[in-house]
Amino acid sequence: MNPDLRNLIVLQDLELKIANLQKQASEIPGKNQHLESEAQRLKAEYQERVTHFKELSNHRRTLEGQVDLNRSKLKKLKDQLMAVKTNKEYTAMLHEIQMAEDAIRSEEDKILEFMEEMEGMEKQLNGAEQEMLKQCVGIQAEIKNATASVPVIEAELVQLREQRMQMEARIGGELLARYRRIADARKGVALAEAKDELCSACHVRIRPQMYAELMRTEHIHACDSCSRILFSRENA
């Protein structure tokens, strides 16, 4: 294989690694922010359930207080019932007593409903809190690992860029300029492997004569379709 072509293959591998690492590093802040948002969402979701539980508890206490008031009222009404002197007053008093008893029953039914709902929620909240804390710990660990990887990636990028400079110095200026033009036009991929008489990048069939020359000579050929420089791993 042509030595310059072999160097171009190494150069492209280096640049693809550099591009991949740069992409990883650039995505870390956004991923960390997304993870932080997810942790906040989990906490807020759990807090909403806790708040709802507290609201139920407050409603229950309010109703219990109302029941106590109605019981006191009922006791007074029953005491007063013995002191009435006319049938009209007696009937009116019985009506008030009935209303107080109905109110107490209605409020006690609601209290029972609140108690049943709270009992189920209390069991769920205990498990939900543990699960929320577990997920938040995992998220924080993921954020920590991602943040810690940044200096590692940056150090690796420094090494790869140095290797790229060294490799560029080994390649002829005209061929390197050609490589750059193609790479700029083809999203950083200027070389394509020729395999089974196909260009691996655009999947267009390579002319048989060109493919044969590519396999047995050191001449540099380009794909007729995508203009990428062709190479053979087998030849390499």
What tens digit of pLDDT does each residue of 198-226 get?
Answer: 999 999 999 999 988 888 878 889 999 99
Model confidence at 88: pLDDT above 90 = no
Task: Provide the 3-class DSSP secondary structure of residue 217.
Answer: coil
Model confidence at 236: pLDDT above 60 = no
d(CA 207, CA 4): 23
d(CA 224, CA 65): 88
List the helix and strand counts (H, then E) for the chain.
Answer: 4, 3
Domains and CATH numbers, the chain: 9-151 (1.10.287.1490), 176-231 (no CATH)
Model confidence at 27: pLDDT above 80 = yes
What does pLDDT average to over the chain?
90
Neighbours of 156 (CB within 10 A): 15
Q: How many CA atoms lie within 13 A of 167 on its CB side?
A: 21
pTM for this predicted structure: 0.68
